[in-house]
Amino acid sequence: MSRSIEIVEVGPRDGLQSEPGVVPTAAKVEFIERLIDSGLKRVEVTSFVNPKKVPQMADAEQVLAGLRRREGVSYIGLVLNRKGYDRAVAAGCNEIGMAVVASDTFNRRNQGVGTDESVAAWLEIAREAKAAGIRATITIGASFGCPFEGEMPVGRVIEVARRVAEGSPYEIAFADTIGVGVPAQVAEIFGRVREALPGVRLRAHFHNTRNTGLANAYAAVEAGVATLDSSCGGIGGCPFAPAATGNIPTEDLVYLLSRSGVATGVDLERLIATGEWLQQALGRPVPGMLVKAGSFPKPSSQAA
């Protein structure tokens, strides 16, 4: 099992996009700066999508313009098509994340086109990004189940993975968009992906909708995944996935991993403080447990 795991913080995008109200740009910028201060090196800062469909992300360009650029940090913009890619590059993202959905029905609901068309758009974007020297990653949504089509055959997930792999992505992420996965499924999917696509860097994205998110994350680490997505405070969802609540909380994940001897490079106390700040900024409690319970053992400064 890997002794270190990289975390992609998705709270500013996956988290804030499902907020009922629009969070002010200045608060988003402060949130991202605090996350980076706590040691997170890859942050999904926004998405470049239709502002009519996702009004919470309408200030994508302004968020990028407000950030202090730091060496060694990936500022990831999520895109769904070529238009979004062009906006993200113009705004200064140094990493692009694109999503396609394993389920054709879900892909149509989310992106207005079928999976095949999204894969074709990804392959074009991947070429452009390579030429421009921008890191490009691809996420396969609904890999663990679909709200419209039900169970997702592993063969279908592998087929989509093989096709997106033709774009030579930095990594391929497999997302449990609606939080239905269980650890046995995680082991099966990543085991079969590793067989089908040896050497490809793997990433996992879990939602905690049915309280299996952290168990799935641990199973993914055991299955050889290099990178896990999570959101500070466990905020998050998908406006197009019914009842898709909360990503796995970054603080809870860091606690689980560090106490298990898996390094993350994240300062847990600073991250918990950011979760507390986030509760104030949103004006409501966040789902994550460490923000409520605190770490253990207590840091030595507080032990006396």
> CA angle at residue 31 from 29 to 34, to 5 degrees?
110
Amino acid at 77: G
> To the nearest whole angstrom, how small is the minimum distance from the Cβ of residue 280 to Zn ion?
24
Largest CA distance in the chain: 60
User: Known catalytic residue: 93?
Assistant: no
Report the residue number, 231 or 274, with the smaller CB distance to Zn ion.
Answer: 231
φ, ψ dihedrals at 99, nearest 5°: -125, 135
Is residue 44 at the binding interface for Zn ion, with CB under 5 A as the rule?
no
Q: Which residue is nearest to Zn ion (CB)?
A: 14
Stretch of 11-19, 98-106, 261-269, 295-303 lying at the interface with Zn ion (CB under 5 A): 11-19
How far apart CA 242 and CA 237 sit, in angstroms, is 9
How far apart CA 151 and CA 196 sit, in angstroms, is 20
Is residue 14 at the binding interface for Zn ion, with CB under 5 A as the rule?
yes
Report the residue number, 1 or 206, with the smaller CB distance to Zn ion.
Answer: 206
Is residue 9 at the binding interface for Zn ion, with CB under 5 A as the rule?
no
71, two tokens = 């060496």
Picking from 56, 49, 47, 107, the residue whose alpha carbon sits closest to that of residue 75 is 47
Is residue 176 at the binding interface for Zn ion, with CB under 5 A as the rule?
no
Question: Residues in contact with Zn ion, total (CB under 5 A)?
Answer: 1
Peptide bond into 297 cis (omega under 30): yes
> To the nearest whole angstrom, how small is the minimum distance from the Cβ of residue 80 to Zn ion?
13
30, two tokens = 């402060």
Ranges within 16-35 binding Zn ion (CB under 5 A): none
Report the residue number, 6 or 14, with the smaller CB distance to Zn ion.
Answer: 14
Contact residues toward Zn ion (CB under 5 A) are 14
State the catalytic residues: 238
